[in-house]
Chains A and B, each alone.
Chain A
Amino acid sequence: MPIANHHSSVPVIVDEDKCIADKGCTVCIDVCPLDVLWINEATGKAHMKYDECWYCMPCEADCPTDAVTVNIPYLLR
């Protein structure tokens, strides 16, 4: 059975100018209960790879440079 890729607007936004994941920081990636934040291999910055968010906010609260914003997922907004 063939599988399609479908687009999804994701709730967690990372400000790449502020994100220091390329310098070794993994705080937001570590604390996410659903493990949906990963390093974007093209930029070295954190990004939301899977649209599976509980809008719980540890990623935003624990980010040392205030780079992360958690929005309410569009379906709930």
Chain B
Amino acid sequence: MKINDIPVIETDILVIGGGTAGPMAAVTAKEQNPDLNVMLLEKANVKRSGAISMGMDGLNNAVVPGHATPEQYVKEITIANDGVVHQPALMAYATRSFPMIEKLDSWGVHFQKDETGDYDMKKVHHLGTYVLPMPEGHNVKKILYRRLRRNRVQIENRFTATRLLKDPDGNIAGMIGVNTRTAEPIIIRAKAVIMATGAAGRLGLPTSGYLFGTYENPANNGDGHAMAYHVGADLANLECFQVNPLLKDYNGPACAYVTGPLGGFTSNAFGERFIECDYWSGQMMLEFFKELESGTGPVFLKLDHLAEETIEEIETVLHTNERPSRGRFHEGRDVNYRQRMVEMHISEVGFCSGHSASGVWTDETGATTVPGLYCAGDMASVAHNYMLGAFVYGQICGESAVEFAKDRGEPKLDEDFIKQELERIQAPMKVADGIPPEQMEYKVRRLVNDYLQPPKVTKKMEIGLERILAVRADVGQLCARDPHELLRAMEVQSIIDCAEMAARASLYRTESRWGLYHYRVDYPEQNDAEWFYHSRLFKDENGQMASGKRPIADYLVSLGEEKDAYRKMRVQKAANG
């Protein structure tokens, strides 16, 4: 079959995104049924793509028998998220957490073990023990790549997906996209689709002003969020922004969770601890933000009191994994952990369930609200999922997608829609004198900072929304001189979609929740009577962006007397202190 002379590629299972969750989903589908055609599409190159292109230095959410139970984990994450979570999805993660660690271990991923050979668990969270260091975690991507080859997953690098396709019954039917080096379009028909496109990390503008100096890998720009919205899937709790504590300007994680078990901590300008717990939560970030803005700010990572051998250990871990250029950054500023505290700041805003709770709505089977479409990793709505959650939900989605595709015939494609989308993809290359993608991106992301960044104020967000829509009206002027600029032109359209979603979702929830993530100054209190719900964002029958409420599923684990533990983040000063 051809559409506009473009051959339609056929596959059983299509996975979009080859970072962390995507390869696990593809390998799982092949493990379930080696006869299936499984295609993995990646915007960059699977060898070095996604959030963990240079590996990872630890697991943040390992539920290891003897140290924690799935019930304890579900309780802690529920409390850390002010109650608004889908517990069945957290429980599905928690029960598969340890089997996934053992699977990765058997594949050759090294986790830290103590002298008896047990996993060397560390306490970083407020209540329980869930951190497992992996000082040799720089080779995770290589190990995943070997598994993809061994299981004969078909890999297509340097293609970006632009829209998902549905059949006339509303089931998923495939995708359309474009080659990032040749600008050639691609049409894929699939019986089930798994999206794992990562966070929407190019939403706010970093303080450095450098467009690509983001916390997230900037290839993760929210394409998946935009595509899910346009195909009719629900998104959830988008107003629960990601805001992280980072090394100022470098914008990589300070990794207090790496240094914490070794004696390092987040401090104010006077070297004093001001938060009880360095685990990233909205409540912790609100205390961080208050300290940053106060007379005892800014905030620092304090290591200068530690012994030489401890500092060497920290340097080895932090300067070889995840963000290894960190050492180079410190050298350039003459910062040595032994002598000086390291200045920290808060990140630009984004959508990322890995650290917060927003994303495309997914249940405990990885299913979205569009039949046959599954989501995993930083773009899916399962709270605080981190790398291990991406692996677990990649596995869950792989299993669910195989089941969905099992008895399905060839999905029917909507040719008119495909032709329209081909026109949208080709448009920027036809504009000679227009707006370069870089300028449009800078403008919309600057608006996100000026108007949507917490503390959120209603009138400011309304102005922000109006200005974002004005940028949207300029999309027809986007121009691209080559296929690479076309990639950026398609990305900026997803960024505009995400910016509009961020504004509307934030305006919808008229309360404050999740600490700094949705700190709304004119509605400063949490209001459980009206807002103990997931917020929904979706495309309504008229094609308009709409909001609504989704009830919270019955808890599997009750919170008991610890339910307010994350509200007590600030270190209390002694009465005589």
Contact = CB atoms under 8 A, between A and B. Distances in A.
B53 A56 contact: yes
Contacts of A76: 208, 210, 213, 249-251, 329
Nearest to A72: B329
Interface in A18-77: 30-35, 49-50, 52-58, 61-62, 70-73, 75-77
Given A33-B48, A58-B48, A70-B328, 4 more contacts: A3-B479, A33-B45, A35-B180, A61-B54
By DSSP majority rule, is chain B's interface helix, strand, loop, or mixed? loop
A40 B477 CA distance: 30
B332 A77 contact: yes
Given A3-B433, A35-B487, A73 B213 contact: yes
B44 A33 contact: yes
Interface string B116-144: 00000000000000000000000000000
Interface string B47-60: 11110011000000
Range for the number of chain B residues in contact with chain A: 35 or more
Interface residues of A, number: 27
A68 B45 CA distance: 18
A33 B217 contact: yes
A32 B218 CA distance: 12
24 contacts: A2-B433, A3-B479, A31-B45, A33-B45, A33-B53, A33-B219, A34-B44, A35-B44, A35-B180, A35-B181, A49-B484, A54-B218, A55-B213, A55-B329, A56-B323, A58-B53, A58-B54, A61-B54, A61-B324, A73-B210, A73-B212, A75-B213, A76-B210, A77-B333
Interface of A: 1-3, 30-35, 49-50, 52-58, 61-62, 70-73, 75-77
B168 interface: no
Nearest to A38: B484
Most chain B beta-carbon neighbours within 10 Å: one of A2, A32, A54, A70? A54
B390 to A, nearest CB: 16
B104 interface: no
B435 interface: yes
A39 B48 CA distance: 19
B54 A54 contact: no
A72 B250 contact: yes
A73 to B, nearest CB: 5
Given A1-B433, A35-B44, A76-B251, A57 B54 contact: yes
Given A35-B158, A50-B484, A62 B44 contact: no
A54 B211 CA distance: 9
Interface of B: 44-45, 47-50, 53-54, 158, 180-181, 208-214, 217-219, 249-251, 323-325, 328-329, 332-333, 433-436, 477, 479, 484, 487-488
Contact of A31 (B47, B208, B213, B219): B47
A52 B217 CA distance: 11
A55 B158 CA distance: 20
By DSSP majority rule, is chain A's interface helix, strand, loop, or mixed? loop
A55 B135 CA distance: 21
Given A58-B54, A76-B210, A76-B213, A52 B218 contact: yes
Contacts of B213: 54-55, 73, 75-76
A35 B48 contact: no
A37 to B, nearest CB: 11
B130 to A, nearest CB: 26
A30 B323 CA distance: 19
Given A3-B436, A56-B323, A72 B332 contact: yes
Nearest to B50: A33
A56 B50 CA distance: 11
Given A33-B44, A56-B325, A58-B54, A1 B435 contact: yes
A30 B328 contact: no
A35 B268 CA distance: 39
Given A30-B47, A33-B44, A34-B212, A57 B433 contact: no
Most chain A beta-carbon neighbours within 10 Å: one of B209, B212, B332? B212
A31 B213 CA distance: 18
Contacts of B54: 56-58, 61
Contacts of A56: 53-54, 217, 323, 325
